[in-house]
Amino acid sequence: AGVLYALAESGAGRYEEGERWLLDHTDPPPRGTALGLYDGLAGIAYVLDRLGHPKRALELVDSLLGEKWQRLAHHLHGGL
Instruction: pLDDT tens for the chain, 80 residues: list them.
Output: 999 999 999 999 999 999 999 999 999 998 888 888 888 899 999 999 999 999 999 999 999 888 887 877 777 666 66
Q: Name the H helices within the chain.
A: 2-10, 16-25, 41-50, 54-65
pLDDT of amino acid 79: 66
pLDDT of amino acid 57: 98
The C-alpha atoms of residue 19 and residue 3 are separated, in whole angstroms, by 10
pTM exceeds cut of 0.85? yes
Q: Where are the domains of the chain?
A: 2-78
- How far is residue 67 CA from its own chain's centroid? 15
